[in-house]
Structure 1
Amino acid sequence: MPSFLTDAMPLTPTWWDIGTRITLTLVAGGLIGLDRERGGHAAGFRTTILVALAACLAMIQANLLLSVYGKTPGSFTQMDVLRFPLGVLTGVGFIGGGAILKRGDMLTGVTTAATLWFMTVVGLCFGGGQILTGIVATAIGFVVLSPLKRLDTWLRCEQKATLVVRASNGNIPELSEVLNPLTCHVGFLSLQRTADGSAEVTFELRWLANDPDASARAIVNALSNTHDVADFSMKSVTT
């Protein structure tokens, strides 16, 4: 291992070392947290900083206890300093699980939970004195969360929706003529007949689009001109 990496990880860190680690953690947490705050996510500026800072302090505490690691001849227990960072990672798992919500077919908070877990690892890097690793990880994380997010504006992703159409004759309507020009694939799911002899037919729709809302409106408008649309619901994952 290069000497400049090991020099930043002394067995007994000074107050200057501890202050540097905490400061870098605050900067990293603030940089990532500010991006999440601007996006209106649940775990924003302060939450991201606190998660990273908790991991950093746990790792600093583990570093300070390295000098008493092991079991002395007169002791009955053995200290395991790795329990500090492992405990932090376990705790962040609960926070991340609380950030992920599922409402029907919509799943939200996946990227938020991943960001909290990522910032925990960054905090552990800084707290353990792995300064270069933490800086590089922070830069990569910021690029993934901010500039790369712009790919969503032009990247065509598969969209899914559930469509319910009322058929007055009780038969399954033919939707391909309307949906094929929109490059939308349709699959039959179920048919439920009503007392008046009509039926409600449920379909699953799949199509590629870089703007889910605009493409969904175009599909609904096209279907509304020729069919009685009872319900249209998107299946999506929100970060």
Structure 2
Amino acid sequence: MTETLDWGDITLRLVAALVAGMVFGLNRDEHGRPAGLRTTTLVCLAACLAMLQTNWLLGTVGKAADSFVTLDLMRLPLGILSGMGFIGGGAILRRENMVLGVTTAATLWIVTVLGLCFGGGQMGLGIAGTVLGFAVLWGLNFAERALREDHRAALVVIADTQNPAICDLARQCMAVSIQIAGQSIAYSEQGEKAEMHFDLRWRGRRRDVGPPAFLLQLARHPGVQAVQWKPVGFIGL
């Protein structure tokens, strides 16, 4: 950070912040995620302007040599980072058993830091952070899709008590590598009807949370009133 600024430095820093914010925003818009082009660009630009303002105040006329400590100008970017924590927290949503917006909050956080870097004149650091951040956001997305992870789902079946399709359910789950980790049952209509709850677990790719094909066949089976499949604990972008 320099004590004096000319409009050439200011323009360069603002343009760099705009480009960094737009790079991340275009990636988010491309995948239909929140905090798209305008949001990330504005956040990065605001952080850059705050650091430019801080830089400008370093050369305040008429202050003593130790005025930098007295003014404590670093409180301005610190307040921005604290404020972004609230905005990032607002971007994270919990919808029943799903957590959404974690990557969106992290994107807002990194574009804020990049804006501070460019606004403070650390061009090399800001460019390196932009390249690495975009590589993580774009490149590792493909790696996450290929990784296999643990999944859980809740399965609810309402059917006749003596329905043969229910007896075959455990075998069909094993055939597709789904483990029944827990089970409960409630009877009604003098024991003629049963509502069964199953806790299912399996390993698969991140997006492999859809119901297996045999559940559609089970739902069409005579004597089966309802079949409900509900993924549990999915963390979204």
Aligned counterpart in structure 2 of residue 178 of structure 1, from 169, 172, 175: 172
Cα distance in structure 2, aligned partners of 1:27 and 1:209:
37
Match runs of 1:70-85 below 5 Å:
78-85=70-77
Aligned counterpart in structure 1 of residue 181 of structure 2, from 169, 172, 187: 187
After superposing the two structures, state which structure 1 stretch, 227-236 or 166-175, moved more: 166-175
Contact 1:166/1:201 (8 A) holds in 2: yes
Distance 1:214 1:110, change over 3 A: closer
After superposing the two structures, state which structure 1 stretch, 225-234 or 121-130, moved more: 225-234
What 5-or-longer segments of structure 2 have no aligned partner?
none
Aligned counterpart in structure 2 of residue 119 of structure 1, from 107, 111, 117: 111
**Letter paired with 2:13:** R
Q: Does 1:234 align with 2:231?
A: yes
What 5-or-longer segments of structure 1 have no aligned partner?
1-8
- Provide the residue aligned with 1:220 in structure 2: 215
Aligned counterpart in structure 2 of residue 130 of structure 1, from 97, 102, 122: 122
Aligned counterpart in structure 2 of residue 99 of structure 1, from 91, 99, 107: 91
Aligned counterpart in structure 1 of residue 30 of structure 2, from 38, 41, 54: 38
Deviations 1:52-86 (A, max 9, x none): 111111111111222349x869x9x9422111111
Aligned counterpart in structure 1 of residue 154 of structure 2, from 133, 158, 162: 162
Partner SS, residue 87 of structure 2 = helix
Deviations 1:110-130 (A, max 9, x none): 101110011111111111111
**Letter paired with 1:135:** I
Deviations 1:123-168 (A, max 9, x none): 1111111111110110011111112212244322322211112253
User: May I ask how many residue pairs the two structures share in their alignment?
Assistant: 228
Cα distance in structure 1, aligned partners of 2:141 and 2:16:
25
Aligned counterpart in structure 2 of residue 54 of structure 1, from 41, 46, 55: 46
TM-score, structure 2 normalization? 0.83
Contact 2:215/2:227 (8 A) holds in 1: no
Cα deviation, residue 95, structure 1:
1.7
After superposing the two structures, state which structure 1 stretch, 59-68 or 164-173, moved more: 164-173
Cα distance in structure 1, aligned partners of 2:72 and 2:183:
55
Cα distance in structure 2, aligned partners of 1:27 and 1:125:
13
What is the percentage of aligned positions where both structures have the same residue?
44
RMSD: 3.0
Distance 1:213 1:120, change over 3 A: same
**Letter paired with 1:37:** D
Distance 1:111 1:20, change over 3 A: same
After superposing the two structures, state which structure 1 stretch, 13-22 or 160-169, moved more: 160-169
